[in-house]
Amino acid sequence: MPRPIVGIIGNSHMITDTYHVHAGGYYSSEAVSRVADCTPVIIPTDPELVGIEELLTHFDGFLFTGGRPNVHPEEYGHEETEAHGTFDRARDRITLPLIRALTERGQPYFGVCRGFQEVNVAYGGTLHPEIRDLPGRMNHRMPPDGSLEEIFELRQKVRFTEGGVFHRIMGEAEVVTNTLHGQGVMEAGSRVEIDGWAEDGTPEALYVKDAPGFTLSVQWHPEYNAANDPVSVKLFTAFGDAVRAWARTAGRPLLRSA
């Protein structure tokens, strides 16, 4: 019997600058499979290849991943600058309307890094192009070199709203996470509830207010070493539970793997 299917938002990438692919990180697929206990499938995020309605129909939940390209500032009314980095306009055209449609249906999704930012932009929020340039903020970017363990080191504290959604899932008001992002939330979208902050005040956790389903998103990368990190286990387990609940309402036969 099949597990529920989670669509993993893919990123456009060029191999040796000549061959175009849509790719997804191994750790995202691993976290979805081994912790959320769902079947991971990478989605080619290009409106020329897939449509919103078919995605809603064929998948039970979605993981909005991180990625090198950023949401284009035109999507939130700002002008493009060099500080905004590179873009993936095809992904923008898929993810932003997909997020809004999922929210209204109550269909679960989990946003990570760029995915966190996409949820904010989908609801009219804005983004800072470079957090480390703001007064009083720390550098949230990944180290320029080092092993994976050093890059994904748990080095920032994130505090949650007392009694809030993340506090309830975690069972504690403060956790330690990695940090690997340059951009961040400037103004929260109209339905976006910021529910967690880094020590310097940078938003790190959010959800969509009054949404009927799972809409949690985080600015850090919980997919890395997810099965061995207590914070990641709780997040992906809660996401997987929400996906299974949705799949049952859709009439899919499910069997939790051993």
Rounded Cα distance between 254 and 197, Å, is: 36
DSSP state of 120: H
pLDDT of res. 158: 98
pLDDT band at 53 (very low <50, low <70, confident <90, very high): very high
pLDDT band at 250 (very low <50, low <70, confident <90, very high): confident
Rounded Cα distance between 161 and 62, Å, is: 25
Count how many residues are written for the chain: 258
Average pLDDT score over residue span 37-50: 96
**Which letter, b or e, does each residue of 31-46 get, where b requires 16 or more Cβ atoms within 10 Å of its Cβ?**
bbbebbbbbbebbbbb
pLDDT of res. 5: 97
SS3 for 12?
A: strand
pLDDT of res. 140: 84
Question: Does the model's pTM come out above 0.75?
Answer: yes
Residue 56 has pLDDT above 90, yes or no: yes
Q: With pLDDT > 70 as the criterion, what percentage of the chain qualifies? A: 97
Q: Which residues contact 63 (CB under 8 A, 6 or more apart)?
A: 6, 7, 8, 9, 28, 32, 40, 109, 110, 112, 115, 239
- Give the phi and the psi of residue 23 in degrees, each rounded to 5: -130, 160
Mean pLDDT over all residues of the chain? 92
Average pLDDT score over residue span 45-56: 96
158-214 pLDDT, tens digit per residue, is 999 999 999 999 999 999 999 998 899 999 999 999 999 999 999 999 999 999 999
pLDDT band at 251 (very low <50, low <70, confident <90, very high): low
Residue 35: half-sphere exposure toward Cβ, Cα within 13 Å = 24
pLDDT of res. 255: 42
Quote the tokens at residue 105.
């249906």
CA torsion angle 111 114 116 117 (round to 10)? -150
- Give the phi and the psi of residue 175 in degrees, each rounded to 5: -135, 170
The answer to whether the beta carbons of residues 253 and 1 sit under 8 Å apart is yes
Report which of 153, 234, 169, 157 is spatially closest to residue 202, judged by C-alpha positions: 157
Average pLDDT score over residue span 78-107: 91
Sketch out the chain's domains with CATH numbers: 5-130+183-249 (3.40.50.880)
Residue 71 has pLDDT above 60, yes or no: yes
Rounded to 10 deg, the angle between the 89-105 and 114-122 helix axes is 70
